[in-house]
Chain A
Amino acid sequence: MEELLSTFVRSIFVENMIFAYYLGMCSFLAVSKNVKTALGLGMAVTFILVCTLPINYMLENYVLKEGALSWLGAPFAEVNLSFLSLLIFIAIIASFTQLVEMVVEKYAPALYASLGIFLPLIAVNCAILGGSLFMQQKALANVGVATVYGLGSGIGWLLAIVGMAAIREKLAYSDIPKSLKGLGITFIITGLMGIGFMCFSGLKI
Chain B
Amino acid sequence: MGLLSSKNKEILVGPLSKNNPVIVQMLGICSALAVTSKLEPSIVMGLSVTAVVAFANVIISLLRHTIPNRIRIIVQLVVCAALVTIISEVLKAFAYDVNKQLSVFVGLIITNCILMGRLEAFALGNGPWESFLDGIGNGLGYGIILVIVGFFRELLGSGTLLGIQVVPQVFYDFGYVNNGLMILPPMALIVVAVIIWVHRSRNKDLQEN
Contacts and interface: CB of A to CB of B under 8 A. Distances in A.
Interface string A90-118: 11001100000000000000000000000
Contacts of A19: 185-186
Given A86-B88, A179-B200, 10 more contacts: A22-B33, A22-B189, A25-B30, A90-B110, A129-B111, A183-B196, A183-B208, A187-B189, A187-B190, A194-B185
Given A22-B30, A29-B29, A126 B108 contact: yes
Nearest to A98: B74
A134 B34 CA distance: 14
B113 A26 contact: yes
B123 interface: no
Interface stretch (B4-12, B48-56, B79-87, B125-133): B79-87
Interface in A180-205: 180-185, 187-188, 190-192, 194-195, 198
Main secondary structure of the interface of B (DSSP, over half): helix
A87 interface: yes
Give the one of A95, A120, A179 with max B CB within 10 A. A179
A192 B189 CA distance: 9
A179 B108 contact: no
Identify the 7 closest CB pairs spanning chains A and B, nearest first.
A182-B208, A194-B186, A191-B189, A179-B200, A187-B193, A133-B104, A179-B201
Contact of A178 (B73, B82, B110, B207): B207
B153 to A, nearest CB: 13
B73 A94 contact: yes
A126 B189 contact: no
A83 B189 contact: no
Contact of A191 (B34, B74, B193, B207): B193
Interface string A128-147: 11100110010000000000
A119 to B, nearest CB: 13
A87 B193 contact: no
Interface string B161-180: 00000000000000000000
Nearest to A131: B104
Contact of A129 (B108, B113, B208): B108
Given A86-B107, A124-B113, A126-B111, A183 B26 contact: yes
Contact of A179 (B84, B89, B197): B197
A129 B107 contact: yes
Contacts of B186: 19, 190-192, 194-195, 198
A177 B197 contact: yes
B78 interface: yes
A21 interface: yes
B29 A22 contact: yes
Interface in B142-175: none
B108 A137 contact: no
Interface string B33-67: 11000000000000000000000000000000000
Interface in B79-134: 81-82, 84-85, 88-89, 103-104, 107-108, 110-113, 116
A20 B103 CA distance: 14
7 contacts: A26-B26, A83-B85, A83-B89, A94-B77, A126-B111, A133-B108, A180-B200
Contact of B74 (A94, A130, A137, A183): A94
B30 A26 contact: yes
